Amino acid sequence: MDNRMDPNFHTDNEKIYEAIFNILAELAAAPWEYLQVSGAILNKNISEVTTIQGSIEGLTEDIPIGWKIFEIQDLLIHLRKIFFEATGQRIWGFRLVFFKDGKFTVQFDYEKPANFDEADDLISGG
């Protein structure tokens, strides 16, 4: 078995991050200091998604994402797939933060949500 990582792994990931950033930036109201999207990646969709823009004053506001959520969903499901193929680890949660200066942070959660229902592909309330 070949244990080498695909040389395009990081490039492919960064293209996905850039596409997500472009969607958020298109919909956010200026001025903003950072844009954030977070939530859970289920089997066929994403759930519990929040989209936030933050200002230098520390204020936050929801980004009105509308139907663009489905584009972000497709990008994240694809990211989960290529990440699993490269590392063998399943991404269950995500938090992407994009800053005005072009920097960004990415956090993944590898723990399956305790209240995840495989049959319905949803996270049930407590």
Domain boundaries of the chain, sorted by first residue:
9-120
Model pTM score: 0.84
Fold of 9-120: 3.30.500
Distances (CA, A) of 115 to 50, 94, 124: 19, 17, 6
pLDDT in tens, 35-86: 999 999 988 888 889 999 998 888 899 999 999 999 999 999 999 999 899 8
Q: With 0-12 CB in 10 A as exposed, 13-18 as middle and 19+ as buried, what is 8?
A: exposed
